[in-house]
Chains A and B, each alone.
Chain A
Amino acid sequence: MTGQIVQFGIDALSLGSLYALMALGLVIVYGILKLVNFAYGELVMVTGYTLFLLNGSPLPWLVMALVAVIIAILTGISTELVAFKPVREKSVTAVLITSFAFSTLLQNFVLLFISPRARQVPLPDIFTQTVELAGVIVPLRNLLTIACAFIMLGLFSWALKKTVLGIALRAAASQFRMARMLGVPANLIITTAFAISGLFAGVVGILWLGRIGSVVPGIGLEPLLVAFIATVIGGMRSLQGAVVGGFLLAFVDVSLNYLLPQHLLQFRDAFTFSFVILFLLMKPDGLIPGPASGERT
């Protein structure tokens, strides 16, 4: 019994950690621009393919992972430059389309120059090893995921509270125009938000690939969807909401994994979505509605 609880707890926590990081990466940009970045999933994809391309290079794996995350950050920043900046003042619809377009562009680039089929990425043994905890066999990568997420969440919330840039980011999320009137440069804030988004997507990418082992051009869809649902559950306006939403969604997913009989397991997502719909009917603003926010800029 305790074994099962431990197993369930670690499954839910590690999936929740991933979901929370995914959601944070999406909501940090949404918070500032009030726009959803539909090319967000491709940041995960880019991480995967960078890792794939570095396969066989003499670099230690940790350096490869670092390079992959850096590429994700740079791709995040270019999303802003290519898809958002030119049109973000004109209309919401335009940004919707350009971010979709950028996402398609990146995917097609990979389809054309690499392959439509799955590609193995290099992974160190730690991702396949297991440990015994309270009598159950636990994949080490799950513990690694939890540790990674907690470190990142801790650092992130520290930076948001204690650094000037962090405070400015939070201010810009609630009153962008006022923050600018105090001298906070709009471009710095927006670029930082996209860079953080890329950082989260990159780390998520590495941990996600650690679970599935290979990368395909469409790999970004699930993280985007998960992040989107988690933020909607949590409340689009708050960072805490995104984290809570991520953990809640993972809790539901893992519970269904444990509870659903075998023949219904393939329909798990249908159950998850039903839960999300019911939830939104009861709490349309999400769990943590967040501060009343300023206008879109």
Chain B
Amino acid sequence: MLKVENLSVSYGAIAAVKKVDIEVREGELVTLLGANGAGKTTTLLAIAGVLRNSGKILFRDREISHWSPEKVAHAGIAMVPETRDVFADLTVLENLRLGAFTRRKDTQGCEKDLAGMFELFPILEERRTQPAGTLSGGEQQQLVIARALMSRPQLLLLDEPSMGLAPAIVDKIFDYIARLKQTGLTILLVEQNARKALTCADRAYVLALGEVAASGSAREISESSDLAALYLGG
């Protein structure tokens, strides 16, 4: 479904991602691991159309390397960014409505999905008229995941959904991710929490200094102990 070939991204003189190849097949949950600064976020942002890049990004056999973020969104790729980026002064409900911007004509479907999101994340329904900026970190994370899902994406890019959250909430988030995978959604998940990510992923890539240092099935990656020591923090 997604094929990244020879992707390189640099910020001025700094080459953050160098000749990276990644593939995500339909229905798969692929995780992208690596230490801080390895280039994970950069890779996701390039796929989302935000960063200028060289190389090839193919989505459903169409080259999207140089598409604008809005065009990528319309093609069916949704992003949950590391920085969360809730629209702080918009209400929870408005944030969710905007998540469905690409399919706003389908009002009935949107209302139905909204109800679905509230079922999945009850706290959001409780907070629906509250400005999103006043939510706690964990609630904001639920909101941005729900916001991304409102577009009914074909591919979901998740950047460190567990960052800064209490262990109980982290478990809950991974629970949601596992459930999403069961619905058949294709997911590319970036995580610091390698062990957790590997338990729910099909395959994994390990980035180091902007390059793919290892790749394979989730089991292979978690079993190779030297990798763990080197890149996954033991």
A-to-B contact residues, CB < 8 Å? 164, 167-168, 170-171, 174-175, 177-186, 290-292, 294
Q: How far, in whole Å, are A186 and B95 apart by their CA atoms in the complex?
A: 17
Residue with the highest number of chain B CB atoms closer than 10 Å, among A175, A183, A290:
A183
Inter-chain contacts of A164 with B (CB < 8 A) = 97-98, 101, 104
A182-B102, A291-B88 given. 18 additional CB < 8 A pairs?
Answer: A164-B98, A164-B104, A167-B90, A167-B97, A167-B98, A168-B101, A171-B87, A174-B88, A175-B85, A178-B85, A181-B49, A181-B69, A182-B147, A183-B73, A183-B101, A183-B151, A185-B68, A186-B68
Q: How far, in whole Å, are A78 and B101 apart by their CA atoms in the complex?
A: 27
Residue B175 at the chain A interface, CB threshold 8 Å: no
Contact present for A181 and B48 (CB under 8 Å): yes
Inter-chain contacts of A182 with B (CB < 8 A) = 73, 78, 98-99, 101-102, 147, 151
Chain A residue nearest to B105 in the complex (CB)? A164
Q: A164-B101, A168-B98 are in contact. Are A183 and B89 (CB under 8 A)?
A: no
Chain B residue nearest to A189 in the complex (CB)? B70
Residue B198 at the chain A interface, CB threshold 8 Å: no
Chain A residue nearest to B81 in the complex (CB)? A178
Q: In B181-210, which residues have CB < 8 Å from any A CB?
A: none
Q: How far, in whole Å, are A179 and B95 apart by their CA atoms in the complex?
A: 10
Residue B179 at the chain A interface, CB threshold 8 Å: no
B71-111 near A? 1/0 per residue, CB < 8 Å: 01110001101000111111000110111011010000000
Chain B residue nearest to A164 in the complex (CB)? B104
Chain B residue nearest to A237 in the complex (CB)? B89
Q: How far, in whole Å, are A179 and B151 apart by their CA atoms in the complex?
A: 13
Q: List 22 A-B contacts (CB under 8 A).
A: A164-B101, A164-B104, A167-B98, A168-B101, A170-B89, A171-B94, A174-B90, A175-B86, A175-B87, A178-B81, A178-B87, A179-B98, A181-B69, A181-B70, A181-B79, A182-B98, A184-B98, A185-B68, A186-B68, A186-B70, A292-B88, A294-B85
Contact present for B101 and A291 (CB under 8 Å): no
Q: How far, in whole Å, are A184 and B101 apart by their CA atoms in the complex?
A: 7
Residue B133 at the chain A interface, CB threshold 8 Å: yes
- Cβ distance A144 to chain B, nearest Cβ, rounded Å: 33
Chain A residue nearest to B150 in the complex (CB)? A182
Inter-chain contacts of A178 with B (CB < 8 A) = 81, 85, 87
Q: In B34-74, which residues have CB < 8 Å from any A CB?
A: 48-50, 68-70, 72-74
Q: How far, in whole Å, are A168 and B87 apart by their CA atoms in the complex?
A: 10
- Cβ distance A92 to chain B, nearest Cβ, rounded Å: 17
Contact present for A174 and B89 (CB under 8 Å): yes
Contact present for B87 and A180 (CB under 8 Å): no
Chain B residue nearest to A171 in the complex (CB)? B87
Q: How far, in whole Å, are A61 and B166 apart by their CA atoms in the complex?
A: 66
Select which of A174, A180, A290 is within 8 A of B68 by beta carbon.
A180
Contact present for A291 and B89 (CB under 8 Å): yes
By Cβ-Cβ distance, the 8 closest A-B pairs, closest first, are: A183-B73, A178-B85, A183-B102, A180-B69, A171-B87, A291-B89, A291-B88, A183-B101
Q: How far, in whole Å, are A185 and B104 apart by their CA atoms in the complex?
A: 14
- Cβ distance B185 to chain A, nearest Cβ, rounded Å: 17
Q: How far, in whole Å, are A164 and B150 apart by their CA atoms in the complex?
A: 15
Q: How far, in whole Å, are A270 and B85 apart by their CA atoms in the complex?
A: 43
Contact present for B87 and A174 (CB under 8 Å): yes
Q: How far, in whole Å, are A183 and B105 apart by their CA atoms in the complex?
A: 13
Inter-chain contacts of A292 with B (CB < 8 A) = 88
Contact present for A181 and B50 (CB under 8 Å): yes
Q: In B90-140, which residues have CB < 8 Å from any A CB?
A: 90, 94-95, 97-99, 101-102, 104, 133
Q: How far, in whole Å, are A17 and B98 apart by their CA atoms in the complex?
A: 32
- Cβ distance A186 to chain B, nearest Cβ, rounded Å: 7
Chain B residue nearest to A175 in the complex (CB)? B85
Contact present for B48 and A170 (CB under 8 Å): no
Inter-chain contacts of B85 with A (CB < 8 A) = 175, 177-178, 294
Residue with the highest number of chain A CB atoms closer than 10 Å, among B49, B73, B74, B102:
B73
Inter-chain contacts of B97 with A (CB < 8 A) = 164, 167
Chain B residue nearest to A293 in the complex (CB)? B88
Contact present for B69 and A177 (CB under 8 Å): yes
Select which of B70, B94, B95, B133 is within 8 A of A183 by beta carbon.
B70
- Cβ distance B27 to chain A, nearest Cβ, rounded Å: 23
Inter-chain contacts of A184 with B (CB < 8 A) = 70, 98, 101
Q: How far, in whole Å, are A186 and B72 apart by their CA atoms in the complex?
A: 13
Q: A167-B98, A168-B98, A177-B69 are in contact. Are A183 and B88 (CB under 8 A)?
A: no
Contact present for A167 and B89 (CB under 8 Å): no
Inter-chain contacts of A171 with B (CB < 8 A) = 87, 90, 94-95, 98
Inter-chain contacts of B151 with A (CB < 8 A) = 182-183
Inter-chain contacts of B147 with A (CB < 8 A) = 182
Q: How far, in whole Å, are A179 and B98 apart by their CA atoms in the complex?
A: 8
